[in-house]
Structure 1
Amino acid sequence: MTTSSTPVVSARGPADHTIRDQIVVAATEHFSRYGYEKTTVSDLAKAIGFSKAYIYKFFESKQAIGEMICSNCLQEIEREVRAAIDGADHPPEKLRRMFKAIVESSLRLFFRDRKLYDIAASAATERWLSARTYESHVKDMIRDIVQQGRQTGDFERKTPLDEAVTAIHLVVRPYTDPLLLQHSFDSAQEAPAQLSSLVLRSLSP
């Protein structure tokens, strides 16, 4: 399985991870209460008890703080999805578990706190690094499963690998993109089984 890497976000300043983490935790709570779009760095500084200039020693902008929060959220989803995949032995079951875990984890984390959803929506809209990295990692997971399935004979080999991976990603994308996910609630319960079954039929040799 491809190993994920942590995206590099725009953190800077002193190598004091304790203070940086403290800012991120406080920002998460503040954004959760007041919303990401409505909060300025000045508001955040006042709430945390730091000066605005001090926060800028660690993060170059509000977006940089949002990037860190979003990255943490997306990494949590990714860990859960990878754990689900690793819990299966055969590629078809890995694919089924991937679809199920993505839908369940995304719904829980993106909408656990509606205010924090604003950050995920901004990340998707503005194509933040954290969102692009997560998308890349989802494609990597799909690629690994398809390659394994081709090696075991469970999946066909005629379709170019990149084409197959892109197509499967497009199928699951409504449940990885928060902007699309908000319109997919009604089908969220049945979608993982139905979509994964459809994809598996298309991959049959």
Structure 2
Amino acid sequence: MTRQPPTFPSRGPTDHSVRDQIVEAAMQHFGHYGYEKTTVSDLAKAIGFSKAYIYKFFESKQAIGEMICASRLAMIMAVVDQAMAEASSPSDKLSRLFKALVQAGSELFFHDRKLYDIAAVAARDNWPSAAGHGERLHRLIEQILREGRETGEFEGHTPLDEASHAVFLVMRPYISPVQLQYNLETAATAAEQLPALILRSLAPR
């Protein structure tokens, strides 16, 4: 069964200005103290709201984190979409996909370290936003492989789902927030060498 895109539960009035105010305070606190060290009580004190009032708009701290995480993952996917639009072939798409993901993830890590931690928590705990992001990438890889088979660029003997899953697993240490933080030193090299290796393995026999 296909997982539906993540939704962000709210309670009470859907006043976007108040929700935005809560999210802005959360981003500041998460960015300074980290997601796991920030409590809903901290956010309530920072905004001047009661804790109960915040729960009218978000059912939990995770729901707030989900909204922030989803926005960061959307930024990464925007980079990916741009890379796909500039690609000239399925092979080029696969190479650009890997490089775009590594670049976007690395930049988020270095320039937004504490907010990057939210993505790491989301991936570790399999939040809907992180799970949906992984599924979108998996589908994109499968689509690229299918296109490559149709154009004769890629072999067609291996079952498509098996091949796409294998490619995703090769990429995962450099695109998963949990794993990328431990692979930053090799990320630039991996973004060049691993796509080349993958493409050689996909070449028609």
The interval holding the TM-score normalised by the smaller chain is over 0.9
Written as runs of structure 1 = structure 2, the 5 A alignment for 1:1-205 is 6-205=5-204
Distance in 1 between residues matched to 2:141 and 2:10, nearest whole Å: 30
Distance in 2 between residues matched to 1:110 and 1:11, nearest whole Å: 29
Offset, 1:89:
1.9
- Computed over aligned residues only, the root mean square deviation of the Cα atoms, in angstroms, reads 1.4
> Does the 8 Å CA contact 1:12/1:60 hold for their aligned counterparts?
yes
> Does the 8 Å CA contact 2:109/2:181 hold for their aligned counterparts?
no
Residues 97-154 of structure 1, C-alpha deviations (whole Å, 9 max, x = no match): 0010000001111332222122112111111111100000111111111111111111
> Does the 8 Å CA contact 1:9/1:130 hold for their aligned counterparts?
no
Distance in 2 between residues matched to 1:70 and 1:12, nearest whole Å: 20
Q: Percent identity?
A: 57
Distance in 2 between residues matched to 1:103 and 1:11, nearest whole Å: 33
Determine helix, strand or coil for the equivalent of 1:23.
Answer: helix
Distance in 1 between residues matched to 2:134 and 2:74, nearest whole Å: 11
Which ranges in structure 2 are unaligned for 5 or more consecutive residues? none
Q: TM-score, normalised by structure 2?
A: 0.93
Distance in 2 between residues matched to 1:173 and 1:12, nearest whole Å: 36
Distance in 2 between residues matched to 1:25 and 1:143, nearest whole Å: 37
Aligned residues: 201
Distance in 1 between residues matched to 2:110 and 2:10, nearest whole Å: 26
> Does the 8 Å CA contact 1:36/1:115 hold for their aligned counterparts?
yes
> Does the 8 Å CA contact 1:13/1:59 hold for their aligned counterparts?
no
